[in-house]
Chains A and B, each alone.
Chain A
Amino acid sequence: MSQPMILCRGLTKTYQKGSTTVTPLEALDLEVPEGQFLALMGPSGSGKTTLLNLLSGIDSPTSGTLEIAGSEIGSLSRGQLTRWRARNIGYIFQLYHLVPILTAFENVELPLLLDSMSKSERREKVESALELVGLSDRMHHRPTELSGGQEQRVAIARALVADPKLLVADEPTGDLDRESATRILELLQALAHEHGKTIVMVTHDPRAADAADRTLHLEKGLLITQP
């Protein structure tokens, strides 16, 4: 059996809020194979985003083990996690988080600036990523000149341009109309099934979850569905 892309054992996150200890995620066990499109659902405060942040190295677990593509990342320092994210993670945000002063091309180019790569190599990769999301004709537009759906597609291009092993998406369709949301979900499906990307998506929308290969439900920090 091949190594899973994500392997969590007893993954727990706690933090202090005043004198109270809050546990948004408790003793979670999870395996996600490479190339799977996984949806995480659950009510607000169930720990979805916390799990997503842990999987993407945005946050560190309090206890338990967390392996991504065979690397244990739970004990990495903030600086080590930053370097690890640059090589391994593509993050897609609900509100796109594009840099407003940069064009679509320049936003997508950002992750490549972290590698020693020639300008022509970068151009080639950025153009390919924008072509993949269907925005070749908008590469010199700034975010304010794009629709919400187009902005999210630029964000997806930015997430995948450096060819990361894992794409994480926090409510990627949460701010979009139905038509744009459908196009984004089709794009994520294609990335998983045609390009072999492992995708973990947090969503409140059952229609979005239907687009995924597998859906997990979280409630009060516990995984309640583990097929």
Chain B
Amino acid sequence: MLPFSYATRNLFRDKARLLQTVGGSAMVVLLVMGALAINQGMKQVLAASGSPHNVILLGAGSEESVQRSEVAEQAAGIAGSEIPGVTEVMGTRAVSTEIHYMGLARFPGGSEAQALFRGVTPTALLTHPEVQLTEGRYPRTGEVMVGRLAWRQMKLSPTALRPGATLLLEDQELTVSGIFAAPGTVMESEVWLPIGDLRVMAQRDSVSCVVLRLDDPDDFAEADLFAKRRLDLELSALRESDYYARLNSFFAPLRAMTWLTAGLIAIGALFGGLNTLYAAFASRIREMATLQAIGFGRGALLTSLIQESTLACLTGAFVASVVALLALDGLVVPFSIGTFAMKISPSVALTGILTGCFLGLLGALPPAIRCLKPALPVALRSS
């Protein structure tokens, strides 16, 4: 076998080519890591947003979108009293009547942004215990409380939604009274306000849904039975976790697009890398033939060429990992119903490294085989 140092020294034979190979590999690996982090981040935020303890009562036929759903106002009271196993905190049953409304918010200075407004009552804090006020207080009439990542979702400056800031929804001025956190969920990108205010602004005479929190998730069957029995209310019961799982499926084509984009660019970069390696190895046909004439087998030479290419690609993968950690880790990405933070997890990093290995191997094989294929007498005469 040729010593490993032969491969490492060959890397620096042509620094421009080395840079091309490392750069190409880094780009592909970064894209793969980015696509994977986006996919994982979106899946995780949607999975974390739905609690298996929560049941959403939606209007029958509107199971795909809570915003389009219409539920009679009195359904909350009836469901709260008829469905067994609803969590009770200090005598208050965890039954939240909600209006979900995608509205256009206007800000002083003229900027506008779409945001999900959730009209709630204070019991929403019982059904969504992950929501914690971090600044200010629960909103009164004419006020809103905003998720701590809402400013990112609306592409505003970090200070645009501080307590005391104002915004216009349907020409009504609303003042930010507080900021809440709901770690890892889409709610952190929402704007919550009293349901009465939103009912007027959205001109609705019904609510979007009723959310109930159950002590035991297995009591969902009771809620489902209630929805099926009370035909007059025209309800459909869904586990909140199932609702977000459906949303997850809804976003699958979007995630596929990220893979497709990453894949197409990766293929382009792979061909670029192949071209670079073809040129690099083609200039060494005679050297490879000389080594064969000395007695090195083609297997040993192929191994050395693959080592060389894999080293370059792994260097690219390392560069990409550093860039990903510095630039992508923690980056908040908005999508239509919320935001999520990209996380360069060990699995993402490992996938990047494996991609680098794969590129090194796959990228080296065709040019290396071409380099070693010519008959020895011919290869020894090559210039």
Interface residues of A (CB under 8 A from B): 49-50, 53, 56, 58-59, 79, 82-83, 85-87, 89, 91, 93, 97, 99-102, 110-111, 113-114, 158
Question: CB distance A93 to B380 under 8 Å?
Answer: yes
Interface string of B1-43 (1 = CB under 8 A from A): 1110010011011000000000000000000000000000000
Q: Is B271 an interface residue (CB 8 A)?
A: no
Q: A121: shortest Cβ distance to chain B, in Å? A: 16
Say whether chain A's binding surface is mostly helix, strand, loop, or mixed.
Answer: helix
A58 touches B1 (CB 8 A): no
Q: Cβ of A113 and Cβ of B1 under 8 Å apart?
A: yes
**Of B3, B12, B292, B375, which one neighbours A113 at CB under 8 angstroms?**
B3
User: Are A114 and B380 in contact, with the CB atoms below 8 A?
Assistant: no
Docked-complex contact A59 and B376, CB < 8 angstroms: yes
Q: Check A85–B9 contact: CB distance below 8 A.
A: no
Given A58-B376, A58-B380, A59-B377, CB of A82 within 8 Å of CB of B3: no
- Tell me whether B255 is interfacial, beta carbon within 8 Å: no
Q: Is the CB of B293 within 8 A of A91?
A: yes
Task: Flag if B287 contacts A85 (CB, 8 Å).
Answer: no
Query: Counting CB contacts under 8 A, is B343 at the interface?
Result: no
Nearest CB in chain A to that of B293: its residue: A91
Asked if A86 and B295 sit within 8 Å, CB to CB, the answer is yes
A89 CA to B294 CA in the complex, in Å? 8
Q: In the complex, what distance in Å separates the CA atom of A87 from the CA atom of B295? A: 8
Per CB-CB distance, the 4 closest pairs between chain A and chain B, nearest first, are A86-B295, A97-B290, A101-B9, A85-B295
Please indicate the chain A residues that have their CB under 8 angstroms from the CB of B298 in the complex: 82
**B291 contacts which chain A residues (CB < 8 A)?**
99, 110
Q: Does B358 contact A (CB under 8 A)?
A: no
Whether the pair B13, A101 counts as a contact (CB closer than 8 A) is yes
Say if the beta carbon of B296 comes within 8 Å of chain A: yes
Residue in B1, B286, B294, B375 whose beta carbon sits within 8 Å of that of A91 in the complex: B294
Q: Which residues of B contact A79 (CB under 8 A)?
A: 297
Within B268-301, the residues touching A (CB, 8 Å) are 286-287, 290-298
How distant is the Cα of A85 from the Cα of B296 in the complex, in angstroms? 9
Residues of B within 8 A of A50 (CB): 377
> A222 to B77, alpha carbons, bound, how many Å?
110
